[in-house]
Structure 1
C-alpha cells in the first residue's frame, strides 16, 4: 500500500499552482508548471499559442485534470482533438517523461545543486528526496540553461520553505 503522505503530495501536484505563478493564476495567460508536468508525463508538446486558443474553462479543466496514468492518456487524446484544427496544428507527440532528473528522488541534478549554491540556498540530498515530484519538476525547469531565472529565487523559497 502506498504511503499516505506520498499519495497526498501526488494529489496536490496534479493541480497545485505555485505562489510565484499567481500573476497569471485564474487568467491562465501562461501554462502553469502543474500542467507542464502533466504534458511531460503524457508526452505532448502544447505550445503557448495552443494554450491561449483554448477557452478559459478548458484551461481550468487541464489544471484540474488528474495526473493518474489513465487520466493522462485521456487528457492527451483530448488535447490532440482540441488542437487538431488550431492555427499551429495539432499538439506534437513527444516521448513521455521516464526517469528524468525531476523524477529521481535520490539523485539531485547538478544544475539544481549549483543554482542553489549560487543563490546561497542550502538544499541537501535529503531535502531533495522529500520534495514532491512537482517541486522537483519546478526546480529542474527553472534552472535550465537559457531559461529566464527570475522566478528561481522565489521557487527555492517556496518549495523549501
Structure 2
C-alpha cells in the first residue's frame, strides 16, 4: 500500500516487515524524520531504547514543529547513553527525494540494473517517503539489499 502525504511519517514498507514489531533496525520513515530534523541517531542509540519508545518515534509527527521537538527529545534522550548524544546534521533541504523533476542518477542506475525505469513522471508520482527510500537504498556504497523489494513495492 502506498503511503499518502498524511501517513508517510509513520508508514513502514512491506519489505521492512522482518523488523517491524521488534524494531531491530531504524525504519525508513524514522530515518526520513531524522534527516528532516537534522539529527544523526546511531543504531546503538535506537537499540538502547525500549521497543515502546521506538514505536513512539515511528508514530512521531513529521510537521515542522514535531521535527523540532524530535531533535530536542533525541538529543536529551541520548545524552547519557554510552555512544553519547545524537549529533546534529544539516537539515535536509532540496534533496532529490524532496522534489519531483529528474530522479537522481544513482537511483535510475540501480533501478535499471534491476529492470525498472525511473522516468521523471514515475519519480514525480512517488510519495516523498518512497523517493526517500529509493535514494537511500540506491546510494553508492550501499549493498542495495532491499532495493529490489522496494522497487517491486512502489511499482507494483
The match for 1:4 is none
Q: Deviations for 1:134-158, whole angstroms, at most 9, x for unmatched residues?
A: 0000000001111121211000010
Taking the aligned partners of 2:41 and 2:119, their CA distance within structure 1 comes to 33
The match for 1:150 is 145
Q: C-alpha displacement at 1:114, in angstroms? A: 1.0
1:139 to 130, 134, 140: 134
Q: C-alpha displacement at 1:88, in angstroms? A: 0.4
Taking the aligned partners of 1:102 and 1:120, their CA distance within structure 2 comes to 21
The match for 1:90 is 85
Q: Are 1:108 and 2:103 matched, yes or no?
A: yes
Gaps of 5+ in 2: none
Please, what TM-score do these two structures have when normalized by structure 1?
0.93
Q: C-alpha displacement at 1:72, in angstroms? A: 0.7
Taking the aligned partners of 1:146 and 1:106, their CA distance within structure 2 comes to 24
The match for 1:73 is 68
Verify the 8 A CA contact 2:103 2:118 in the aligned structure 1: no
Q: Are 1:120 and 2:115 matched, yes or no?
A: yes
Gaps of 5+ in 1: 1-7
Q: Secondary structure at the match of 2:6?
A: helix
The match for 1:5 is none
Q: Are 1:46 and 2:41 matched, yes or no?
A: yes
Taking the aligned partners of 2:89 and 2:113, their CA distance within structure 1 comes to 32
The match for 2:54 is 59
Taking the aligned partners of 2:111 and 2:140, their CA distance within structure 1 comes to 14
Q: Deviations for 1:68-100, whole angstroms, at most 9, x for unmatched residues?
A: 010010111111110000000000001100001
2:23 to 20, 24, 28: 28
Q: C-alpha displacement at 1:123, in angstroms? A: 2.4
Aligned residue pairs total 154
Taking the aligned partners of 1:25 and 1:35, their CA distance within structure 2 comes to 12
Verify the 8 A CA contact 2:102 2:119 in the aligned structure 1: no
Taking the aligned partners of 2:145 and 2:8, their CA distance within structure 1 comes to 22
Taking the aligned partners of 1:145 and 1:65, their CA distance within structure 2 comes to 29
